[in-house]
């Protein structure tokens, strides 16, 4: 049996019946890593072998990959940035602690865009990750390593983070399921911050059932994250029932515009027809402020990032670079040298953009304006959800693009986030799941969005669609 190609829920059955052991599963996954990791480059680093003692009685002794921005106590964690080289967090992120308590086998830390800035995993200090469906293409980003690892069966499931689409877009590009929970659903304690009003941690899995199970493990209130909300966590597997009859599903006309690849449009239109056939009521809706979402996001996100990255000064975390000569004062020279050598190009670009947007004289024109437009975008969704239960759109305007295709033009890279960032700006949950393949054999993603804390609605619609079509069963040959 190829244990590494199975889902977590299938493996859990085998574990319960004592047909396999956690060590068997771990060995199968490590074997696959030995076979394909050289080609894919999904990991920033692999984890030391776990202790299997007592694991058989834990609920989820399943291999998991963690994006390299989730703190693991005592293990180097760098956000794929040279500036954090050698940083060993003194504590576990809350999601990591919860996974460890469930018996998880941490297999490694997944590659990512530096500090999660990007949509292609090309800005990592470890070099790019390749898309397992076509090694000349990007896996998406910024959680591209996690998505590629799941697709290439180098892990059973993974955790990513999503500030503007970083779970959903790589999930779409790699043909897997990715969920960004509601802002406040999952604790970010121990997630290295990018933009604190947008960041969420979420599951990246082979199917919808696994996403429901993994979310259940990591969700819930945490006194260590003041933004985590104290609401009970439902048993999400109860929502996996193939029932969409009578549900109202909105299709926002602003999402079907020039720039949307015809093959993606076709697959998404066919997916909407499937939901209709299952009894969902399809409603044409408008989210009128959609055209402002990319600009608003890149003001708000860079402003917060420039502030969050202020702490990397060579004193408190990771790398310190001694200046070759004294130019101003030794400490200022050390800050400058460390930041100059430690941050990559995209991180520097974002620090400059964000600092500018926040600077005296420009604050009102950019940052404050951005916050106001963010409110308008959120209101579009509030209004839409008065008449519909869920909103269905493409996850990304295209399939995976070529490595190097967009690196010279940051704006074209930013525009690839057009369908995902509104969910972050409004705090709502959104899932991406496979809805077909292009002629070239590249996966296409379907995005479903719902009201705050209505993850159950996402699972209901996604599961009904998945079971009716079965795209998730296509196995990537690598």
Residues known to be catalytic: 67, 142, 166
State the nearest-atom distance from the C-beta of 116 to ligand GLN, in Å: 4
Q: 162 or 222: whose CB is closer to ligand GLN?
A: 162
State the nearest-atom distance from the C-beta of 15 to ligand GLN, in Å: 33
Alpha helical stretches, state H, 55-196: 94-101, 144-151, 168-174
DSSP 406: S
Q: 94 or 166: whose CB is closer to ligand GLN?
A: 166
With b for 16 or more beta-carbon neighbours within 10 A and e for fewer, the 178-192 pattern comes to bbbbbbbbbbbbbbb
How far CA 198 is from CA of 25, 33, 85, 183, 218, in Å, comes to: 35, 33, 26, 7, 18
Query: Is 123 near ligand GLN (CB under 6 A)?
Result: no
Contact at 8 Å (CB) between 435 and 444? yes
Strands of the sheet containing 157-162, edge to edge, are 43-46, 105-110, 63-67, 157-162, 200-205, 177-180, 430-437, 443-450, 390-394, 248-252, 281-285
Query: Is 194 near ligand GLN (CB under 6 A)?
Result: yes
Query: Is 306 near ligand GLN (CB under 6 A)?
Result: no
Contact at 8 Å (CB) between 136 and 415? no
Q: Mark the segment that binds ligand GLN (CB under 6 A) among 29-37, 55-63, 144-152, 164-172.
A: 164-172
Interactions with ligand GLN, residue window 76-115 (CB under 6 A): none
Q: 67 or 153: whose CB is closer to ligand GLN?
A: 67
Q: Which two tokens stand for residue 38?
A: 């050289």
267, with CB counted inside 10 A (0-12, 13-18, 19+), is: buried
Q: Which two tokens stand for residue 398?
A: 């295209």
State the nearest-atom distance from the C-beta of 182 to ligand GLN, in Å: 15
Query: Is 116 near ligand GLN (CB under 6 A)?
Result: yes
Q: Mark the segment that binds ligand GLN (CB under 6 A) among 117-125, 145-153, 383-391, 459-467.
A: 117-125
Query: Is 163 near ligand GLN (CB under 6 A)?
Result: yes
Residue 291 CA to its chain's centroid (Å)? 23
Binding test (CB under 6 A) with ligand GLN, winner from 165, 178, 203, 436: 165
Nearest 10 degrees: Cα torsion 203, 209, 212, 217: -80
How far CA 30 is from CA of 100, 206, 420, in Å, comes to: 19, 18, 33
State the nearest-atom distance from the C-beta of 113 to ligand GLN, in Å: 7
Q: 118 or 314: whose CB is closer to ligand GLN?
A: 118
d(CA 478, CA 474): 12
Q: 166 or 239: whose CB is closer to ligand GLN?
A: 166
State the nearest-atom distance from the C-beta of 419 to ligand GLN, in Å: 11
Query: Is 464 near ligand GLN (CB under 6 A)?
Result: no
Handedness of CA 162, 351, 187, 47 (dihedral sign): positive
x/- string (CB under 6 A) for ligand GLN, residues 196-215?
--------------------
Q: 205 or 416: whose CB is closer to ligand GLN?
A: 416
Q: 142 or 187: whose CB is closer to ligand GLN?
A: 142
State the nearest-atom distance from the C-beta of 156 to ligand GLN, in Å: 23
Q: Mark the segment that binds ligand GLN (CB under 6 A) among 19-27, 51-59, 163-171, 399-407.
A: 163-171
x/- string (CB under 6 A) for ligand GLN, residues 417-436?
x-------------------
Binding test (CB under 6 A) with ligand GLN, winner from 119, 308, 426, 432: 119
Contact at 8 Å (CB) between 20 and 224? no
Q: Mark the segment that binds ligand GLN (CB under 6 A) among 87-95, 116-124, 252-260, 271-279.
A: 116-124
Interactions with ligand GLN, residue window 166-185 (CB under 6 A): 166
How many binding residues for ligand GLN (CB under 6 A)? Answer: 13
Nearest 10 degrees: Cα torsion 44, 340, 304, 193: 30
Binding test (CB under 6 A) with ligand GLN, winner from 96, 240, 301, 418: 301
Q: 209 or 416: whose CB is closer to ligand GLN?
A: 416
d(CA 416, CA 119): 7
Q: 300 or 454: whose CB is closer to ligand GLN?
A: 300
Backbone angles phi, psi at 443, to 5 degrees: -65, 150
d(CA 457, CA 463): 10
Query: Is 121 near ligand GLN (CB under 6 A)?
Result: no
State the nearest-atom distance from the C-beta of 459 to ligand GLN, in Å: 22
Query: Is 142 near ligand GLN (CB under 6 A)?
Result: yes
Query: Is 43 near ligand GLN (CB under 6 A)?
Result: no
Nearest 10 degrees: Cα torsion 419, 423, 429, 433: 10
Query: Is 162 near ligand GLN (CB under 6 A)?
Result: yes
How far CA 193 is from CA of 68, 70, 164, 335, 403, in Å, comes to: 12, 10, 13, 20, 27
d(CA 327, CA 313): 17
Using CB under 6 A, list all residues that contact ligand GLN.
116-119, 142, 162-166, 194, 301, 417
């Amino acid at each position: 049996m190829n244990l590494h190609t199975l889902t977590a829920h299938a493996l859990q059955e085998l574990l319960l019946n004592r047909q396999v052991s956690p060590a068997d599963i771990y060995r199968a996954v490590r074997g696959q890593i030995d076979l394909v990791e050289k080609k894919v480059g999904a990991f920033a680093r692999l984890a030391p072998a776990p202790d299997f003692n007592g694991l058989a009685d834990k609920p989820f002794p399943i291999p998991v990959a963690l994006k390299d921005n989730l703190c693991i106590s005592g293990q180097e964690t760098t956000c794929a940035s040279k500036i954090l080289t050698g940083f060993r967090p003194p504590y576990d992120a809350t999601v990591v602690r919860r996974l460890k308590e469930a018996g998880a086998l941490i297999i490694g830390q997944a590659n990512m865009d530096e500090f999660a800035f990007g949509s292609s995993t090309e800005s990592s200090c470890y070099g790019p990750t390749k898309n397992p469906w076509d090694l000349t293409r990007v896996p998406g980003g910024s959680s591209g390593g996690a998505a590629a690892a799941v697709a290439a069966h180098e892990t059973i499931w993974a955790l990513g983070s999503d500030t503007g689409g970083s779970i959903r877009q790589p999930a779409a590009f790699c043909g897997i399921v990715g969920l960004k929970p509601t802002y406040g659903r999952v604790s970010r304690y121990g997630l290295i911050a990018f933009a604190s009003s947008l960041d969420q941690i979420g599951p990246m899995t082979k199917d919808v059932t696994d996403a429901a199970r993994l979310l259940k493990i990591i969700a819930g209130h945490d006194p260590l994250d003041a933004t985590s909300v104290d609401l009970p966590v439902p048993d999400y597997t109860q929502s996996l029932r193939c029932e969409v009859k009578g549900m109202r599903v909105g299709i926002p006309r602003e999402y079907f515009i020039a720039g949307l690849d015809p093959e993606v449009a076709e697959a998404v239109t066919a997916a909407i027809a499937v939901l209709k056939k299952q009894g969902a009521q399809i409603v044409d809706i408008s989210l009128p402020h959609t055209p402002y979402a990319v600009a608003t996001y890149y003001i708000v996100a860079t402003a917060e990032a420039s502030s969050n990255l202020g702490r990397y000064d060579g004193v408190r975390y990771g790398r310190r670079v001694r200046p070759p000569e004294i130019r101003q004062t030794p400490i200022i020279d050390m800050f400058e040298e460390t930041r100059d050598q430690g941050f990559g190009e995209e991180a520097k670009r974002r620090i400059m953009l964000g600092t500018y947007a926040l600077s005296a004289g420009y604050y009102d024109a950019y940052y404050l304006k951005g916050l106001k437009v963010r409110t308008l975008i959120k209101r579009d969704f509030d209004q839409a959800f008065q008449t519909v239960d869920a909103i269905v759109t493409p996850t990304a305007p295209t399939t995976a693009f070529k490595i190097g295709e967009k690196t010279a033009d940051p704006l074209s890279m930013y525009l690839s986030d057009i369908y995902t960032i509104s969910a972050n700006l409004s705090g709502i949950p959104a899932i991406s799941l496979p809805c077909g393949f292009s002629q070239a054999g590249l996966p296409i993603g379907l995005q479903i969005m719902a009201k705050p804390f209505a993850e159950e609605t996402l699972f209901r619609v996604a599961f009904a669609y998945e079971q009716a079509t079965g795209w998730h069963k296509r196995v990537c040959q690598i």
